[in-house]
């Protein structure tokens, strides 16, 4: 499958700005949730000022642990949750702004693949109806939508005659995830957000689905936003990687560079926590002690300082910023050690 389907150069009719224009620009996106009963004004700062750029044709991986806000971020990008503040610019047009692109039009070009939980597919609906639902809602007639669904099922490796009339409970995890992917692709999007799309799968099935995702990206010329907690998978599939901690971006850069020379202490700890398959190289001391703090009352200044070995007074007083970055090759970190002017004793060394 891999070698025969080479990417064909084409221009999508919906493309507005050409290859140079980023697919998505996110500026200072913020979303807080009020916590009931945990005291007045207690707020979960799920996403707190996230900014990044997604270029056309790339795969941006977003890693972080539980509570970092990556799933909330995914839903904010599709306006499934409405942001409190911040800006989303899709191919040059502001989303949900007076003269920009509407959310409905955005959702025709951006789709999401959910984690294969028991709740990702309607248990009472046959597979082909679930997949055909999107096209049907967007104006296609039922027979047309049905045909589109069968087409896309073939592309994800499921025979429509064998799998179309089946119900989700009859399918294995890998097959259900292929259906999820088919459902997202049935509407012909240009960008796909994959929210923990392979996390619930067995390792061998995960490999198959990752291969499928790579092939689909090439043939359908897609742009991926790949959210996962699994560092190995993110490293494998991403061109660039974004690391999140407690609702903020702490590091952003090309995948190879970020994984070989991480600049933020949290990224370093994350990478050091990876398990190798070599039984002779075991980890004796954990790189990070304790659990991630709750996003309800994050520490002042740098949110990582309570677990950082290099925390100093300046870390509590000033929140580090991500630093200026210009293009796809920039590698920046939100750390006072990376900023030469911060006043940290190790400033400029990260």
Q: Restricting to residues 34-93, which ones interact with another protein according to CB under 8 A?
A: 65-66, 75, 78, 80
Query: 293 vs 323, which CB is nearer to another protein?
Result: 293
Beta bridge partners of 90: 24, 93
Rounded to whole angstroms, what are the CA distances from 281 to 27, 265, 278, 284, 317?
42, 22, 6, 9, 39
The least CB distance from residue 59 to another protein, in Å, is 11
Per CB under 8 A, does 133 bind another protein?
yes
Helix (H, G, I), strand (E, B) or coil at 219: helix
Q: What residues contact residue 198 under an 8 Å CB cut-off, 6+ apart? A: 177, 206, 209, 210, 228, 230, 233
Show the beta-strand stretches assigned E in 172-234: 191-195, 223-228
Site for another protein in 235-294 (CB under 8 A): 235-236, 269-270, 273-280, 282-292, 294
Beta bridge partners of 195: 227
Q: Find the part of the chain contacting another protein (CB under 8 A) among 28-36, 93-101, 120-128, 297-305.
A: 120-128
Q: Find the part of the chain contacting another protein (CB under 8 A) among 50-58, 228-236, 297-305, 323-331.
A: 228-236
Per CB under 8 A, does 324 bind another protein?
no
Per CB under 8 A, does 296 bind another protein?
no
Per CB under 8 A, does 166 bind another protein?
yes
Choosing from 169, 324, 326, 341, the residue that interacts with another protein (CB under 8 A) is 169
Per CB under 8 A, does 20 bind another protein?
no
Choosing from 85, 144, 232, 261, the residue that interacts with another protein (CB under 8 A) is 232
The least CB distance from residue 254 to another protein, in Å, is 13
Helix (H, G, I), strand (E, B) or coil at 228: strand
The least CB distance from residue 247 to another protein, in Å, is 16
Per CB under 8 A, does 18 bind another protein?
no
Choosing from 172, 261, 297, 300, the residue that interacts with another protein (CB under 8 A) is 172
Q: Cα 24–27–30 angle (5° rounding)?
A: 115
The least CB distance from residue 290 to another protein, in Å, is 8
Site for another protein in 193-212 (CB under 8 A): 202-208, 210-211
d(CA 127, CA 270): 38
Q: Find the part of the chain contacting another protein (CB under 8 A) among 41-49, 88-96, 116-124, 337-345.
A: 116-124
Show the beta-strand stretches assigned E in the chain: 24-34, 43-54, 59-63, 85-90, 93-94, 110-113, 191-195, 223-228, 240-245, 248-254, 332-333
Q: How does 97-113 read in b/e, with b if 16+ C-beta sit within 10 Å?
A: eeebbeeeebbbbbbbb
């Amino acid at each position: 499958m891999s070698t025969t389907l080479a990417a064909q150069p084409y221009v999508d009719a919906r493309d507005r700005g050409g290859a140079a224009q980023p697919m998505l620009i996110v500026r200072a996106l913020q979303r807080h949730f009020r916590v009931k009963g945990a005291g007045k004004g207690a707020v979960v700062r799920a996403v707190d000022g996230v900014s990044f750029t997604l270029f056309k044709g790339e795969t941006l991986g977003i890693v972080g642990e539980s509570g970092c806000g990556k799933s909330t971020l995914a839903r904010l990008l599709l306006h499934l949750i409405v942001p409190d503040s911040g800006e989303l610019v899709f191919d040059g047009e502001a989303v949900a702004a007076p003269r920009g692109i509407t959310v409905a039009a955005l959702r025709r070009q951006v789709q999401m693949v959910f984690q294969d939980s028991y709740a990702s597919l309607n248990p009472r609906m046959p597979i082909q109806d679930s997949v055909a639902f999107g096209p049907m809602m967007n104006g296609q007639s039922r027979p047309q939508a049905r045909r589109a669904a069968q087409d896309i099922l073939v592309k994800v490796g499921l025979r429509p005659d064998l799998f179309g009339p089946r119900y989700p409970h009859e399918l294995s995890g890998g097959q259900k995830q292929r259906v999820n992917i088919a459902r997202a692709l049935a509407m012909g999007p240009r960008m796909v957000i994959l929210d923990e799309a392979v996390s619930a799968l067995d390792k061998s099935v995960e490999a198959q689905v990752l291969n499928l995702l790579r092939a689909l990206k090439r043939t359908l010329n897609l742009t991926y936003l790949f959210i996962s907690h699994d560092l190995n998978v993110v490293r494998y599939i991403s061109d660039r990687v974004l690391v999140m901690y407690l609702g903020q971006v702490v590091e952003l850069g090309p995948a190879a560079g970020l994984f070989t020379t991480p600049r933020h202490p949290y990224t370093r700890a994350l990478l050091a926590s990876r398990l190798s398959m070599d039984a002779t190289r075991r980890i004796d001391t954990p790189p990070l002690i304790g659990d991630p703090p709750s996003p309800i009352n994050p520490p002042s200044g740098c949110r990582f300082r309570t677990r950082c070995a290099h925390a100093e007074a300046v870390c509590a007083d000033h929140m580090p910023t991500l630093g200026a970055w210009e293009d796809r090759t920039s590698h920046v970190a939100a750390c006072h050690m990376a900023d030469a002017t911060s006043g940290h004793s190790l400033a400029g060394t990260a």
